[in-house]
Structure formats: C-alpha cells, structure tokens
Copies of this chain bind each other. A is one copy, B any other.
Amino acid sequence: MVYATQDGGGGRKLRVGMVGGGRNAFIGAVHRMALRLDDLIVLTAGALSADPENARLSGADLGFAPDRAYSDYREMAVREAARPDGIQAVIIVTPNHLHYPVARAFLEAGIDVICDKPLSTTLEQARELVALTQEKKLVFAVTLNNTGYPMVRQAREMIQAGELGDLRVVHATYIQDWLTNPIDADGQKQAEWRTDPTRAGSSACLADIGVHAHNLALFVTSLELDKVSADLTTFVPGRRLDDNAHVLLRFAGGARGVLAASQVAVGNLNGLSLKVFGTRAGIEWVGETPEFLRFTPYGEPTRVLQRGGPGSSGEARRGSRMPAGHPEGYVEGFANLYRDAAELIVARRSGRTPSAAALAATPGVVDGARGVAFIEAAVESSRNDGAWTSARLI
C-alpha cells in the first residue's frame, strides 16, 4: 500500500475564507486543523466574528491581511468576489441560524460554499439553498463529517456492492452526556446557543447530533428515508429545546430503523454508532473507535476490518494517510471531506469533471436539506403524538 504524501505544493493551493470561527469559538479551529492536514487549502480571509475587534484580532491570529479580516460577511462576500486574488470558497462555521443567510450571500456572489451542519434552521431555507445552488451551478459541501471516516466510507462501498444484500434494519445512535445538567442556563456558551430556538432552530438534540446520526445512516445505506415517528423530550428543567430524541424510521423500499439521540446519556462522551442488517450480512461501526468495522456475512464468523489492513476497500484506502494500526481520528476524517470538497471546487472552476469517488463521498446541499427535513419531520411527529410523518425532501 502506498500512502500518498498529502503535500499541496507552492502556489497551487485553494484560497478559502471563513465566516465564524473567531477567538473563543470551537468548531472553526477544528475545520482549520482539518484543512491544514493535507496542505491543499490556504485560508486568506474571514469574517471570523461579527464583533469588529474580535474579527480583527482573530484575523491577525491567522495571518490575514488587515483588509481581509471582515466583521460583516456580506461585505466579505462582495469584496472577495471582486478581488483577483479573492477567495475561491467560503467555509461557514457560525451558529445554525446564520448558515442560511451567509450561504445565500456567498452563493449570490458566485463563491462555492462549505457549510457546517445543519444546513439551515427551516426546511424552507434549506430548499432555497438547494435551488440557488443548482441555479448558480456552484459547489455546496456540508460538513457532515462522519462520512469522512475511512471505515464509514468502506461500509457504504460494501453495501453499494451488495455485500449486505437487501437492507432490512438500521440502528443509529448518537448519545452524549454534556447537557445532563442545566449548563445552558449557567451561561456555558456552546450549550446556550445550541438550546436556543432563535439560533439552533426547532430542535437542539437533533440539530446538534441527531442530524449526524441521520446522515451517517443515509450515507452508509444509500437508502431514502420515507417517514418518521418521534418522541422528543426535554429532561432538564428550564431547557428551551429537546435534549433527548427517540425516532422510529421507515425507509423507502421497506427497511426499518431506530435512531436514538441524547445529550443526557450519562457515561457517553460522544457515542455515535451505526448497525445495518441486510439479507446477506450485517455491519457495526462505533465512532469512538472509528478505525474498526465489524462485518458478518450470514452464517460466517464476524470479521473485524481495520482501516488500512486486510479487507480495506478502495474507499477506505483512499481516505487513509497512515498505515493500519496507526490510529487516525476525527480530524483525519474531517480532512477527507476537505480534500474531496477541494477537488470538487477545483474541478468546477477549471471545467473538469471531478472523480466519481469525491463526488459520491461529499455531502452536498441536498444531503444537508434532507437533514433539515428529518429534523422538521421528527419535531412535527413528536408534537402529533408520534404520528408517522414524511421526512422526504420533496
């Protein structure tokens, strides 16, 4: 196995900007680590904060030219679009409610978008972004980043190759415990906005983590979700949105599923997992030990597939930087998303066709919109005492 050096080279890097992610923000720094790993992308501008002083200082931290450390994303979109050396794509890492207006502004300026999840806080906005992206013929990647794990990609590839047969049952779980106590009421910044309907949308738990479990299930299975029956709960007194969600799933074609998401599941730091069972085989993947994929053909012993090791598929190897047994993790998976998104953007700008692999592996605006449709359907179902509710995008 040859591991490609992932060094980008002088002068050929994609120029990108960032909205959100200033000092004291969390996820912006993760995106920056991910995009640095392969050296394919250089960050040259940003509206890192709406606060001018924070925007200026945060931009200086990252070495931006002073006139490219914006505090207004609209101004940034217009000016960068006008510069000959302007950014070629924007990364949006704001709270949820800003994804839509920021993405809209950059799409309208003709700039490709890499946006954090959930795509938007309403399905209507999500549909608008889908339409606008298609109209503008731009790249719109959504950092539903668990799709970047090599063994997740391998699972998808195996299912597409028919190794599981017809799919029957899907169990997706994403359980954490960081909202066990009312830290949102106590001023913890991350907790506060994620449980605030004006910034998070109609659900906290589903918008923060449930949408990851949903996307993971859809990405791996290639199934279309038809309907959901949900039971959303707010356990912590005073919390404004749900902190636990149990959702039954019905897929087009007859497969059934359960999705459980919780932020009050004491003892679970980031418990994402997926099980899929088909007529011929079953798989299991656990996010805290992402290098392994359990695979059992019916009537045979379970195989423990390990990234880079025997049985690694093409997609697992395409997303590998290290030999087997030298653990890769969250940032490496995230970096796979950036690598593929960069390929799509470079291809679009140069009029070339990107690789089918990069195209298939990159969650796009439609995948993002499906996540929002899922959230809205689950919220509505839960309000209607669990009535089965369509989660289709259209």
Contact = CB atoms under 8 A, between A and B. Distances in A.
A324 B301 CA distance: 12
A311 interface: yes
Given A9-B60, A256-B246, A330-B327, A267 B284 contact: yes
Contact of A266 (B171, B271, B280, B327): B280
Interface stretch (A81-89, A191-199, A215-223, A302-310): A302-310
Contacts of A280: 266
A321 B284 CA distance: 27
7 contacts: A177-B298, A248-B248, A270-B326, A299-B310, A301-B303, A301-B311, A327-B329
A70 B279 CA distance: 44
Contact of A6 (B29, B278, B294, B303): B29
Given A246-B258, A302-B303, A330-B327, A7 B26 contact: no
Nearest to A321: B33
Nearest to A190: B323
A263 to B, nearest CB: 10
A265 interface: yes
A244 interface: yes
Given A32-B7, A331-B328, A267 B246 contact: no
Contact of A269 (B63, B257, B267, B306): B306
A342 to B, nearest CB: 15
Interface in A162-202: 164, 168-169, 171, 173, 176-177, 180-181
Given A168-B244, A169-B244, A322-B331, A7 B62 contact: yes
Contacts of A279: 180, 266
Interface string A55-74: 00000111110000000000
Nearest to A300: B310
Contacts of A310: 299-301
Given A5-B32, A29-B6, A267 B244 contact: no
The 7 closest A-B pairs by CB, nearest first: A270-B325, A10-B63, A267-B296, A269-B325, A327-B329, A266-B282, A267-B282
Interface in A270-317: 270-271, 275, 277-284, 287-291, 294-306, 308-311
Interface stretch (A107-115, A123-131, A229-237): A229-237
B303 A269 contact: no
Interface in A318-356: 321-332
A208 interface: no
Interface in A22-75: 23, 26, 28-30, 32-33, 36-39, 60-64
Contacts of A4: 29
Contact of A61 (B5, B176, B181, B295): B5
